[in-house]
Amino acid sequence: MTAQTTLRTTPRRLEIDSDGVAGIATQVPSPNCDARPAGTEVSLIVVHGISLPPGKFGGGDVARLFTNELDPGADPYFPGIAHLRVSAHFFIRRDGELVQFVPCGRRAWHAGVSSWRGLSGCNDYSVGIELEGTDNLPYRSAQYRRLAQVARALRRRYPIRDMVGHSDVAPGRKTDPGAAFDWTHLGRLLGARPTDGCATA
């Protein structure tokens, strides 16, 4: 009989380095970013939902949008958005894969006209995390686990105080991550109780 050894690998802990780069994320640099205002603390996480074309998952069009490579002729929906210069720090696919477009030390262009706790311009002081999904389809367990992992890593690196939806910082203008997003479940994963649709990381 031949002895067999089963090798067990421990998943790498997600850490955010001093530049704001997540070591286990696939890096896809976006040009749609700039410097944060001097002296600004990163204190907020904004959760978004996105799918391109809307309701279709698994393709590369979100990355193409965030890198200014979206073909306006590839889908009837695209001519209306291909000109946009937008980005997020992170994108979490349906299977939990983590993609990073902008280092957290820089300002990604994700929130637009926005405010939180009386402070406008949320892009200045927030990290934007896009989940592959829609407002009315349940997000997947792998996405919640990854989101919680990223939130904990961000909390270790920055003085994060709140975690909210895009709809919370741009009410009436944005609806994502939508009614399908389970803030209670996320709160349990983070060991916190969500309040008024918002989770504290």
At residue 195 the predicted structure's pLDDT band, cuts being 50, 70 and 90, is very low
Set 15, 69, 97, 130: catalytic member: 130
What CATH code is assigned to 26-51+87-190? 3.40.80.10
As a whole number, mean pLDDT of residues 117-142 equals 98
Per DSSP bridges, beta strands 115-116 and 119-120 are: antiparallel
Residues 144-184: pLDDT tens digits?
A: 999 999 999 999 999 999 999 999 999 999 999 999 999 99
Half-sphere exposure of 51 (CA within 13 A, CB side): 16
| The pLDDT of residue 196 | 40
Residue 199 confidence (pLDDT): 55
pLDDT for 198: 55
More confident residue, 3 or 58: 58
Would you call 41 a catalytic residue per the annotation?
A: no
Tell me, what's the pLDDT at 10? 38
Return the pLDDT at 11.
Answer: 52
pLDDT in tens, 15-53: 999 999 998 999 999 999 999 999 999 999 999 999 999
Please identify which residue in the block is written with the tokens 């978004």: 48
Mean pLDDT computed over every residue of the chain: 92
Q: How far is CA 159 from CA 28, 86, 145, 201, in A?
A: 26, 25, 21, 10
In the predicted structure, residue 193 carries a pLDDT above the cut 80: no
Q: Which has the closest alpha carbon to 108: 155, 158, 45?
A: 45
- C-alpha distances in Å from residue 25, one per residue of 14, 45, 115, 161: 9, 17, 28, 23
- Helical packing angle, 183-190 and 141-157, nearest 10°: 50
Q: What does pTM read for this prediction?
A: 0.91
Instruction: Characterize the bridge pairing of strands 106-108 and 33-35.
Output: antiparallel
**Which pLDDT band holds residue 13 (cuts at 50, 70, 90)?**
confident
Asked, as a colleague might, if the bond just before 37 is cis with ω within 30 of 0, I would say no
Angle at 59 between CA 20 and CA 128, to 5 degrees: 30
Q: What is the mean pLDDT of residues 112-132?
A: 98
Q: Is the pLDDT of residue 197 over 50?
A: no
Domain ranges of the chain: 26-51+87-190
